[in-house]
Structure formats: C-alpha cells, structure tokens
Amino acid sequence: MHKRTLKWIILAAAVATPLAAQAHKMWMVPSATNVAGADPWVTVDAAISNDLFFPDHHAAPLDKLVIIAPDGQTAKPQNAATGKYRSVFDVELAQQGTYKLALVNQGLFARYELNGQKKRWRGDAAELATAIPAGAKDVEVTASSSRVETFVTNGKPNATALKPSGQGLELVPVSGVTDLVEGEPATFQLLLDGKPAAGLKVSAIAGATRYRNAPEEMTAQTGTDGRFTLTWPHPGMYWVNASTQDDKSGVKQASKRRLSYTATLEVLPE
Amino acid sequence: MRRLLCCTLALLLATPLAAAELDVTVRIPEQEVAEYHRPYAAIWIERADRSVAAQLAAWYAQKDSKEGAGTKWLPDLRQWWRRGGRGLSLPVDGVSGATRPAGQYQLKFVDGQAPLGTLAPGDYTLVVEAAREVGGREVVRVPFTWPATATQHLSAQGSSELGAVSLDINP
C-alpha cells in the first residue's frame, strides 16, 4: 500500500468513524489560549492518538490547516514540522482578537473487492473516476467531512473568525470559546451545512487520560436549535467531539456522507 | 449677604462634608522560595453580576522588553484578565503600577474621583488577585454594600499569595 494512501486511511479512520469515542482521536493543542503582550506567539501540537493529549499513534497532516485571524483573513503557520507521532507549528498572533485554527478535511473513501482481494482508496471527487479499476466489485463510496479545531485569543476576544462557513459540521460558540472556567456552564451551537444540527450527541473528554483509569466522558445532546451546554468539572484541555452522517455526499457514487467535528477547548480554574 | 450665607449653609447641608472613602489594605506575604519574583496583582470592584464597576490597581512589571513590558504575563491574573483587564488600554493612569515587594499596602479611593468613580447604590465585592511567576495564584474577595451608612471595617484572609485584605468604608 502506498504511504500516502495509508496516511489518508489513518486520517479517515480518525475523523470519520461514527463511534468516535472508540476511535483514534485527532486533535490540536495550543500552548496557550489566552495571550497578551507586544509579540505573542503560540506553538501548537497536532496529532492522532488514543490517549489525550499524548501523541502515540500518528502525526496529523498539516496540509489542510487553515488559520483564520481575528479580521477574518487567513494567517500562515510558521516553523511547521511533521514528525512520526506529532506535527507542530507556531502562530504569530499579530492581531488582537480570537484566532480559529482548523484542520479541514473533505474527501471520498472507497472500499471494493478486486480479484478476491479487499481494497481501500481515499481521494477526492476528481480522482474517483480513474481510481477504481474496471473489474472492482462491491464498490462502496463514502464521502467524509471533518473539522478539527482549536482557538486562541490575543487580548480581548472577538467573533469574526468564528463565523461558520456553512459546510459540514461546525461549532459556533455562544458563551465564549477561550473563556471557559471550571463549574461554569458553556453553551455552543452545532451547525450542519449552516443549519442547526438537532439531536446530536456531543462528547467531551478531559486530557491526561493516561493518568486515570476511566475515560470520564461527558455527554450532551443538541436541542432543536443545535445548542448544547457543558459544565466543566475541573480545569484542563478538553476534547469535544460530535459526529453524524447523512446522504448529502454531493457525489453520485457516494450514498453516504460522514461528518465529524472536534474542538480542543481549554478550561481554566476560577 | 444674609442670603448668600443661607445659600452656603444649604449647600453644606445638602452635600456631605467629605466624599465617602474606600481604604483598601493588602498584604503581600513573604515567600520562602529559592526563586522569588514579585507577584502581579490586580484590585477591582465587581458588581453583583460580576461585571467590573471600577478598576482600582494593576501591578505588573514595567520594565521595557521585546515582549511588551510586563504585559505578556497579564493573563496569569486570570479572573482580572477575563473580567475586564484584557479590555483596558494599558497603562491606565492611577491604576497601572510597578510590582510591589512583600509588605502591607494601603490604598485610598475617593467616591467621585478616578479610579473609583461613582458607584450606584448596591452590593459589590472588592476583589484582589495575585499571581507570581513560578509561584501560585490567589483571589481574595470582600463583599460590601454601597453606600455605607456608618463606618465599616471588612476583611478577608488570603492563604498563599495574599495575606490579610481589609476594606474600611468611611461614609
């Protein structure tokens, strides 16, 4: 199997598996979520792992990294590097306000059988026509759409970078996103293609899972307005995830679209 | 002349002889540590809904540096930063100041004058927060009602980064 294909399959498994809590988890962790001063920077880890937030499985590819600055324009990562288990990059926070860091993946995943052998393929819609050999049997194509995000605020927060794109599963903070405090309820809204995503299960797991025996997963359900509320039991970095599927793949060969959204959110002591 | 005297008397009766005062006393305790840095500290008044009614003091490193004087570490005063510190354009006259060594500090704030300004009648909390580089962080809160009808002495005790905090209100 090609190295590139393997990478995409690991990625696809991490971001598009419906039973997200049991799959490898993809995440970005910034070195700080609130910064100040004349020349603030953050350094960010990005990985796919079992334990939160320890890079123990695969580096997260950075080719789909999008950084939205407080003015809504994109900003470039600096000093990016990808190692065996972890990618890293720096962000210079030249503007005041809230930055959104997102790994945005969209693509197609196919399974088929060729000459009695099971095959897998991952790519985009343009490649699909030529990717699957003529003799392939039991071809099953699935579209996937995922976002893995985190947020950093320089000075006073603003909401320009938090505007949803209207594509896939997205999170809109209602009560702040870099302002989370233990014991205080925090409300967010989940959108599916820009519309409230009702009835979705949202799970949140605090980091440092290696140092406790139970995952201590918290769950919430989105209402008809797509909103859900989480109350953080203790400070820490939390991995917040929701996933769903529908039939709006946008590609005629794919009957299903799998969607997932993940955010790493920092909760500070009161 | 008599009329002028009457007017003066009326004015004197209508307004208190002296404006009300808040006297804040804060102790920064000594720390038995190998590496000591003076704490960053902030003092402010919160309304019942926890919004900021007045910023009274912010003590942070004033030395010029590439990272922007001491402002890089201001978010370590977490509550202050979140509750309004981050919205200030620093330095603020009469609020910003240098970090203080261990000791007891008395600060006097006068009703109607900066930085206290005029507080609407209601319930408030005096909040003192201190955060020390490679050390800890502590918040001490002293609730009070404004205006006070009689002289009041209120206090609270810190346990690590702050010592006794007291608030004397002279109506």
- B46: domain CATH number is 2.60.40
Residue A124 in any domain: the answer is no
Q: State the pLDDT at residue A85.
A: 97
Is the distance from CB of A5 to CB of A110 less than 8 angstroms? no
Q: Does B123 touch chain A (CB under 8 A)?
A: no
**Nearest residue, CB atoms, B81 vs list A34, A39, A270:** A34
Show the tokens assigned to A54: 């320890």
Report chain A's mean pLDDT, rounded to a whole number: 92
Is the distance from CB of A71 to CB of A86 less than 8 angstroms? no
A255 vs A80 pLDDT, higher one: A80
Lowest mean pLDDT among B14-18, B32-36, B112-116, B157-161: B14-18
Residue B62, pLDDT above cutoff 80: yes
Q: pLDDT tier at A14 (50, 70, 90 boundaries)?
A: low
Q: How far is CA B18 from the centre of its chain?
A: 21
Q: State the pLDDT at residue A20.
A: 40
Give percent of chain A with pLDDT exceeding 90. Answer: 82
Report, as an integer, the average pLDDT of A43-63: 96
**Tally of CB atoms within 10 A around B24:** 20
Residue A22, pLDDT above cutoff 60: no
A37 neighbourhood in chain B, CB within 8 Å: 67-68, 71-74
Question: At A188, which CATH number?
Answer: 2.60.40.10
Domain holding B104, by residue range, is 19-170
* Count of domains for chain B: 1
Residue A234 in any domain: the answer is yes
Q: State the pLDDT at residue A19.
A: 41
Cα(A180)–Cα(A174) distance, integer angstroms: 11
Residue A135 in any domain: the answer is no
Cα(A54)–Cα(B73) distance, integer angstroms: 27
Residue B5 in any domain: the answer is no
Only one residue has tokens 């809204």, namely A189
Residue B9 in any domain: the answer is no
Q: Does B153 touch chain A (CB under 8 A)?
A: no
Q: Over the Cα atoms of chain B, what is R_g? A: 19
- Rounded (10°) CA dihedral A94, A98, A101, A102: -140
Q: What are the Cα distances from residue A70, in Å, to A67, B3, B78?
A: 10, 64, 21
Beta-bridge mates of residue B105: B26
Cα(B150)–Cα(A205) distance, integer angstroms: 52
Indicate the pairing of strand A180-181 with strand A254-268: parallel
Residue A182 in any domain: the answer is yes
Residue B8 in any domain: the answer is no
State the DSSP string of chain A: --HHHHHHHHHHHHHH-SSGGGS-EEEEEES-SEE-SSS-EEEEEEEEESSTT---SEEPP-TTEEEE-TTSSEE--EEEEE-SS-EEEEEE--SSEEEEEEEEEEEEEEEEEETTEEEEEEE-HHHHHHHS-TT-EEEEEEEEEEEEEEEEEESS--SGGG---SSSEEEEESS-SS-EETTSEEEEEEEETTEE-TT-EEEEEES-GGGSSS---EEEE--TTSEEEEE-SSSEEEEEEEEEEES--SSTTEEEEEEEEEEEEEEE--
Nearest CA-CA partner of A257 in A141, A120, A98, A158: A141
Residue B123, pLDDT above cutoff 70: yes
Is the distance from CB of A188 to CB of A151 less than 8 angstroms? no
Is the distance from CB of A64 to CB of A77 less than 8 angstroms? no
Q: pLDDT tier at A2 (50, 70, 90 boundaries)?
A: low
Lowest mean pLDDT among A11-20, A75-84, B17-26, B49-58: A11-20
Tell me, letter by letter, the H, E, C secondary structure of B141-170: EEEEEECCCCCEEEEEECCCCCCEEEEEEE
A250 vs A264 pLDDT, higher one: A264
Q: State the pLDDT at residue A23.
A: 66
Q: State the pLDDT at residue B139.
A: 97
Residue B26 in any domain: the answer is yes
Q: Over the Cα atoms of chain A, what is R_g? A: 19
Residue of A nearest to B89 (CA): A155
Q: Chain B 58-117, CB below 8 Å of chain A: which residues? A: 66-69, 71-75, 78-79, 81-82, 86-87
Cα(A95)–Cα(A67) distance, integer angstroms: 13
Residue A154 in any domain: the answer is yes
Q: Does the N-terminal peptide bond of residue A228 adopt cis geometry, omega within 30 degrees of 0? A: no
Q: State the pLDDT at residue B153.
A: 97
Residue B71 in any domain: the answer is yes
Q: What is the pLDDT of residues B4-59, one digit of tens each?
A: 555 555 544 455 557 899 999 999 999 999 999 999 999 999 999 999 999 999 99
Q: What is the pLDDT of residues A124-147, one digit of tens each?
A: 888 888 888 888 999 999 999 999
The single-letter DSSP state of residue B83 is H
Residue B50 in any domain: the answer is yes
Give how far A237 is from chain B: nearest CA, Å: 16
Domain holding A92, by residue range, is 3-107+141-268
Q: What is the pLDDT of residues A210-224, one digit of tens each?
A: 999 999 999 999 999
**Position A79: which residue type?**
N
User: pTM for this structure?
Assistant: 0.89
Report, as an integer, the average pLDDT of B65-80: 86
Show the tokens assigned to A17: 């598996």
B-interface mutation test, from A31, A33, A34, most B Cβ less than 10 A away: A34
Give percent of chain B with pLDDT exceeding 90. Answer: 81
Q: State the pLDDT at residue A270.
A: 87
Residue A112 in any domain: the answer is no
Give the number of C-alpha atoms closer than 13 A to the C-alpha of residue B144, restricted to the C-beta side: 30
Give the number of C-alpha atoms closer than 13 A to the C-alpha of residue B64, restricted to the C-beta side: 0
* Count of domains for chain A: 1
Q: State the pLDDT at residue A126.
A: 87
Residue A17 in any domain: the answer is yes
Residue B79 in any domain: the answer is yes
